[in-house]
Amino acid sequence: MLPQEIVRKKRDRQPLTPDEIAAFVAGLTDGSFSEGQVAALGMAIFLNGMERDEAVALTLAMRDSGTVLDWSDMPGPVTDKHSTGGVGDNVSLMLAPIVATCGAYVPMISGRGLGHTGGTLDKMDAIPGYTSQPDKALFRKVVREVGCAIIGQTADLAPADKRFYAIRDVTGTVESIPLITASILSKKLAAGLQSLVLDVKAGNGAFMATKKSASGLAQSLVEVANGAGLPTTALMTDMNQPLASAAGNAVEVANAVDFLTGRARDRRLEVTLALAAEMLLAAGIASTHRQADSLAGNALSSGRAADVFGRMVSALGGPADFVDKYETYLPQAPVIRPVKSGKSGFVTAIASRDIGIAVVALGGGRTKPEDVIDHAVGITALAPVGTDIAKGDALAIVHAPNEADADQAEAAVHAAYTLGEGRPRMPRPVIRRIALSS
């Protein structure tokens, strides 16, 4: 099948057949579709959408473009979580060890940064020595012995999606519901999971800015995943402000360790424990929400989850004492500067996407697939919505490679923050649960 004819058909709002979708995925995998043709079809899908059967066919074809893992020999249930992405969303770093502590096995295959959102894999790459793309033997060994492993796609796991993912990132087609659905689920299906929980973000820092669009994505993911044989539920969570108080790579790793060890508690707690409980229910480890909440909370408060995180880092090549001495291992930016408020007031709104873009501009994200990440840069101590700020107080701290970039990031932070006279209403971080019958 000619690539241009497949592009033309979708351009003209006609549904693609399974054979045409299979031809496209084969072209993605072997390179016979050029980058321009892939980008054109991505834009045609972005503009015209896909029917549910098309999305299922695309998901399954991308799953089958490489190896499909088998965890049937694991002595417990195999489960995972995926977030659609947001600013300061480092929940995966805490969630995987919490759920593993409770007896599940979590082979978490994560992605790199996409658009203005950070990528879990880029965060883990900030840890010196950490092998974020191990061979399958090491991956299986760490999952079995530690309970979880956070890694990136190997070359043989959904290779069609890996190429499509990189092209979407730089061609303005990130927000397409069927493409997000197929991209997320092809990797999760290829990972051989027995259950999956999705964290679908809604708000000004998410790809889906409104609750309506986020709900549509969550419903698509749940329906396509279950249609492909993977039991899946979703939680919609708020992304109208950065989730953590840090945005970047090394700075988010440090922030996650502080959370696991009890040195930091914020609105992530509700999101993290809600997702953990959902995973424990899906895996069959807990039979009620109360039991699941208790198991997850105890795993975190006891310090056992922090221990699992440390053992995972060590097993994948990182420092054995990373949890205790992360400050000595993580890279630090040359310029660290507080962003001082020019007036007093309550933080009433944060343009979260602009914070994410500022991190990308510092070098903490990509504008081209081949860009090299600066893991040290980012923004920390982000004052959350509702903070009472006095003139001269810090809204955030910028970590930059040089003074000029620090100036730009400081201006971006000032522009992203809105201060007002009255304390704003604080929305709950977890908005809604979506299951197949929703």
Give the pTM.
Answer: 0.89
Encode pLDDT of 157-174 as tens digits. 889 988 998 899 789 898
Name the band, by pLDDT with cuts 50, 70 and 90, for residue 37.
very high
Strands (E), 364-413: 378-380, 388-389, 394-400
Query: How confident is the model over 178-203, as a mean pLDDT?
Result: 93
Bridge partners, residue 148, by sequence: 106
Per-residue model confidence (pLDDT) at position 166 = 84
Name the band, by pLDDT with cuts 50, 70 and 90, for residue 386.
very high
pLDDT above 90: residue 438? no
Encoded tokens for 429:
């971080």
Per-residue model confidence (pLDDT) at position 265 = 82
Name the band, by pLDDT with cuts 50, 70 and 90, for residue 115.
low
Q: What residues contact residue 72 under an 8 Å CB cut-off, 6+ apart?
A: none
- Range among 70-84, 203-217, 358-372 with highest mean pLDDT value: 70-84
Name the band, by pLDDT with cuts 50, 70 and 90, for residue 152.
confident
Q: What residues contact residue 173 under an 8 Å CB cut-off, 6+ apart?
A: 39, 42, 43, 45, 46, 179
Query: How confident is the model over 148-155, as a mean pLDDT?
Result: 87
Encoded tokens for 187:
């990797």
Per-residue model confidence (pLDDT) at position 119 = 82
Per-residue model confidence (pLDDT) at position 77 = 97
Residue 422, classified by CB atoms within 10 Å of its CB into exposed (0-12), middle (13-18) or buried (19+), is exposed
pLDDT above 60: residue 338? yes
Per-residue model confidence (pLDDT) at position 203 = 94
Per-residue model confidence (pLDDT) at position 169 = 78
Q: How many CA atoms lie within 13 Å of 353's alpha carbon, on the beta-carbon side?
A: 11
Per-residue model confidence (pLDDT) at position 347 = 97
Per-residue model confidence (pLDDT) at position 114 = 60
Q: For residue 340, give the nearest of 383, 400, 376 by alpha carbon.
A: 383
Per-residue model confidence (pLDDT) at position 84 = 86
Encode pLDDT of 261-302 as tens digits. 999 888 899 999 999 999 999 999 999 999 999 999 999 999
Query: How confident is the model over 82-101, as a mean pLDDT?
Result: 94
Residue 35, classified by CB atoms within 10 Å of its CB into exposed (0-12), middle (13-18) or buried (19+), is middle
56 versus 207: the higher-pLDDT residue is 56
Name the band, by pLDDT with cuts 50, 70 and 90, for residue 241.
very high
pLDDT above 90: residue 343? yes
Alpha-carbon gap, residue 132 to 317, rounded angstroms:
9
Name the band, by pLDDT with cuts 50, 70 and 90, for residue 81.
very high
Just list the catalytic residues.
Answer: 80-83, 120, 168, 183, 187-188
Give the H/E segment covering residue 195: strand 195-202
Q: How far is CA 107 from the centre of its chain?
A: 15
Task: Enumerate domains of the chain plus CATH numbers.
Answer: 3-63 (1.20.970.10), 79-326 (3.40.1030.10), 332-420 (3.90.1170.30)
